[in-house]
Amino acid sequence: MDREKGSAAERYQASTSHWDMVKDRRGWGGFYESIMAMMIVTAGIVLITASLTFMAAHEDRGRGGGPECREVIRAVLTDRTLAPSDRMLDLRQADKVDWTSLKGGADIGMSVFLTFADGTTRTLYREDMQDQGERYSISEPVNILERGGTVSASLLTVWVWYP
Amino acid sequence: MGVVPLKDRLGIAGLFDALIFLAVASLVSVSLIATLSAHVAPVEAVNERIEAAHTVLLRSTVNDSRGNPSTVEELFKLRGPGDGCEEHVTSVLDLLLPRSGWRWSVERGEHRWAFGSKQVPNGDVICSIFRAPIDGQEVTYRLEAWPLR
């Protein structure tokens, strides 16, 4: 009897270890499987982050101008020497503006000019532009305070390029 | 090189399938996000641009019928457009809103003036409205703009 019992127990143990092996082959739960799961999740996060980063860079270009270009035009519009109020530029103060400081320390070339409704332009700051390389421009509507209390409408344009 | 065990082969195949799935899922989700957000970002930028152009137009000066400089806002608030006013409005808005169609109108009581396009087309039209009170009345300045195709 004991021999038969022992034989049955051995047969049962052998069968369960066989099914454990089958489950282990086709299922989850092992050390290597957990490593693989973490790798897959990490790869997914990396892929989505990279895609969103490229998409954000594409949007930056779509909005017009690079990030430095927008920083420069924002600096011009908020410079209290040149802009006494929102979108109002006092050109009598243009000579007192430290234009290079508006770059914010970035190693870029820059030109700033105004276009008026009659088609004339006025250059506020200019550096020699290179013929090649990445260049960006951005424009914003502004009022220009002139002598005699007249206020004209103008388009402020900033060009930025990377030397 | 020995024979790769069945378990390892299944693991590598699973990893490969998962990476392919993730790449496709990333592409689909990013293109969906790009499609949905593409309509939001430009509208905000265009809206801001039209508000700015309208402010700049209203603050710009033009000579009234007596030859004195007056802001466009005050001109319509106190009197009405003089000679050269339409040319001024047209040249300013053409400059500030390139590649856009526009219609600018002013309403003061029973008086109404309109400049620019005769009709506003169907589709996306951005509208900027300024209201200024005067003598119990209200002057309404309305700028409507749309992209030219």
**Number of neighbours of residue B55 by Cβ within 10 angstroms:** 21
User: Hey, what are B36's tokens?
Assistant: 């949905």
Which of the residues in chain B have pLDDT under 50?
A: none
Residue A62 has a pLDDT of 46
Instruction: Give how far Cα A53 sits from Cα of A162, B29, B34, Å.
Output: 22, 14, 12
Residue B48 carries which side chain, given as an amino acid letter? E
Residue numbers in B near A63 (CB within 8 A) = 41-42, 45
The verdict on B72 and B124 lying in the same domain is yes
% of chain B at pLDDT higher than 70: 89
CA distance A2 to A131: 97
For A136, half-sphere exposure in the C-beta direction (CA atoms, 13 angstrom radius) is 18
The verdict on B34 and B3 lying in the same domain is yes
Residue A51 has a pLDDT of 76
Residue numbers in A near B16 (CB within 8 A) = none
Q: What is the DSSP string of B30-61?
A: HHHHHHHHHTHHHHHHHHHHHHHHHHHHHHSE
The reply to whether residue B22 touches residue A43, judged by beta carbons under 8 angstroms, is yes
Instruction: Check residue A80 and report its DSSP letter.
Output: T
ipTM exceeds 0.85, yes or no: no
The verdict on B82 and B15 lying in the same domain is no
Which CATH number do you get for residue B107?
3.30.1140
CA distance B49 to B102: 13
Residue A33 has a pLDDT of 75
The residues, ordered by sequence, that sit 6+ positions from B47 with a Cβ below 8 Å of its Cβ are B126, B128
Average pLDDT for A118-139? 86
Q: Is the pLDDT of residue A5 over 70?
A: no
CA distance B146 to B126: 6
Closest B-chain CA to A139: B96
- Spell out the domain ranges in chain A: 2-62, 67-161
pLDDT band at A1 (very low <50, low <70, confident <90, very high): very low
Let me know: does B135 contact B40? Beta carbons within 8 Å.
Answer: no
Predicted confidence (pLDDT) per residue in A98-119, tens digit: 998 988 888 888 999 999 999 9
The verdict on B24 and B81 lying in the same domain is no
The verdict on B101 and B116 lying in the same domain is yes
The verdict on B27 and B71 lying in the same domain is no
Q: What is the DSSP string of A82-102?
A: T-SBTTEEEGGGGGG--GGGG
**Number of neighbours of residue B22 by Cβ within 10 angstroms:** 18
Of A25, A59, A115, the CB nearest to B7: A25
Predicted confidence (pLDDT) per residue in A17-49, tens digit: 555 555 555 555 677 777 878 888 888 888 888
The residues, ordered by sequence, that sit 6+ positions from B99 with a Cβ below 8 Å of its Cβ are B147, B148
The verdict on B67 and B88 lying in the same domain is yes
Residue numbers in A near B59 (CB within 8 A) = 88, 143, 151, 153
- Contact status of B26 with chain A (Cβ, < 8 Å): yes
Domain carrying residue B1: 1-38
The verdict on B44 and B113 lying in the same domain is yes
Length of chain A: 163
CA distance B64 to chain A (A): 13
CA-based torsion, A57, A62, A65, A70: positive or negative: negative
